[in-house]
Amino acid sequence: MTVPPTDRLSEPERMTSTLARAVAADRDEFAATFWGRLPLLSRAADLGGPDGFHDLISSAAVDELLSRRGLRTPFLRVAQHGKVLPVGQYTGGGGAGAEIADQVHDDKVLRLFAGGATLVLQGLHRLWPPVIDFAGRLGAELRQSLQVNAYLSPPSSQGFDTHYDTHDVFVLQVEGVKRWRVHPPVLPDPLERQPWGGRADEVGATAEGEPLLDVELHPGDALYLPRGWLHSARTESGRSLHLTVGVRALTRFDLVEELLTAAAAEPRLRASLPYGMDVTDLDVVGAELAATVAALRSWLLTADPAAIAERLRERSWVLKRPEPISPMRQLDFAGALTPDDVIVVRGGLRWTMTGSGERVTLQLAGRTLELPASCESAVRMSLDGSPHRVGDLPLPDDADRLVLARRLLIEGVLIPEA
């Protein structure tokens, strides 16, 4: 198996694409050739140069997170010799007035790292501003949910044994050098319920063979790995810092699960099996299975795509968070709002709107807002992605415009224009 060559992005495409920071490929080619199929190694020379990811994280940023941000578990994991260390080895009380028992202790982390342990800073897409912004842009471009972790490894160390992930990853090398060995999957496209530990023997045996990729990542290099591809990483002479962007993509099995959930509405599929049924009798079980499959098949032909899409949307939306807002700034802005102020929809907000009679319903992730039907045009205008002066919203007068804009600001739907 070979990894196909790829063309570089044109400069205009690279300037407008966040994905282009991690992939030295045309967007369409990446989607057709690599996404979910093959690894892709992208060198710094074809991306942003050796400092390409230093704006996202650095050793100095790690120091700040570990020592001055009140970090708690599970935002930090520590691994050594292929095992995750007990949190008690690097956490403790938060000091006077904190009443926290699991705060990261920087001095304990220092000793563990000096002794060869790898530090894993988890959930940086919720914790570190540059990564929050980057993950938001990349997630919007991919239309997928992301998680971002940082791995800081000391010299001559390997934090984890060969394994696979149940989500796609982009590895972004920030500092130092790390050697990656990549092997084909033992289970293509594993689901989250199919972690590598259940196939440890197969993983270990495959890892003994010749890898598809055996490469060193230097600062600014990136590596894309589809879920299921085996990999291990090791430092040699110096410490290494890299980001791993995990892409939690929806799968066809997610569709299957939503179909089965919706199938509970079918009485034939809720029916009990025969009284006293002998489950060891293959003829009896086979007959019931055939009847069930027939009932399921006929129900599937009547399944409402719109209802399934709505269920899939709800599942997807709760995994994605819109851009951060500043609560106090929002309240101050809303309280002093005038018709000349400019508002815009919150970045990354997911919404749909439906109307019924005298009300319209704005569906957001995990909640709904009920509004007068007369506001529909003004709400749609405010959510179209462009900045708008409050006084330009299509409502009868400024009093109505201010009431609507304040409501949507306090609900976190709109924000002040930057």
Average pLDDT, the chain: 92
Hey, do 11-248 and 327-416 end up sharing a CATH topology, with the first three levels equal? no
pLDDT over 80 (residue 6): no
Q: What does pTM read for this prediction?
A: 0.86
User: How buried is 5 (Cβ within 10 angstroms: 0-12 exposed, 13-18 middle, 19+ buried)?
Assistant: exposed
Q: Domain boundaries in the chain?
A: 11-248, 252-316, 327-416
How many CA atoms within 13 Å lie on the side-chain side of 289?
A: 7
CA–CA gap between residue 273 and residue 284 (Å, rounded):
10
Per-residue pLDDT, 359: 93
Domain 327-416 has CATH 3.90.930.40: yes
The arithmetic mean of pLDDT across residues 232-241, rounded, is 94
Name the residue among 226, 169, 166, 250 with its Cα closest to residue 35.
226
Per-residue pLDDT, 16: 60
pLDDT over 80 (residue 239): yes
Per-residue pLDDT, 317: 83
Question: Which CATH architecture is the domain 11-248 placed in?
Answer: Sandwich (2.60)
Q: What is the pLDDT of residues 84-121, one digit of tens each?
A: 999 999 999 988 877 888 999 999 999 999 999 999 99
Secondary structure letter of residue 338 according to DSSP: -
Q: What is the pLDDT of residues 275-328, one digit of tens each?
A: 999 999 999 999 999 999 999 999 999 999 999 998 888 888 877 888 889 999
Per-residue pLDDT, 10: 38
C-alpha pair distances (Å), 228 with each of 160, 164, 187, 312, 385: 16, 5, 6, 23, 37
Q: What is the pLDDT of residues 55-69, one digit of tens each?
A: 999 999 999 999 999
Contacts (Cβ under 8 Å, ≥6 apart) of 106: 66, 67
Per-residue pLDDT, 418: 79
Q: What is the pLDDT of residues 162-213, one digit of tens each?
A: 999 999 999 999 999 999 999 999 999 999 999 999 999 999 999 999 999 9
169: left (phi over 0), alpha (psi -120 to 50) or beta: beta
Name the residue among 16, 30, 39, 250 with its Cα closest to residue 145.
250
Instruction: Decide: helix, strand or coil at residue 306.
Output: helix
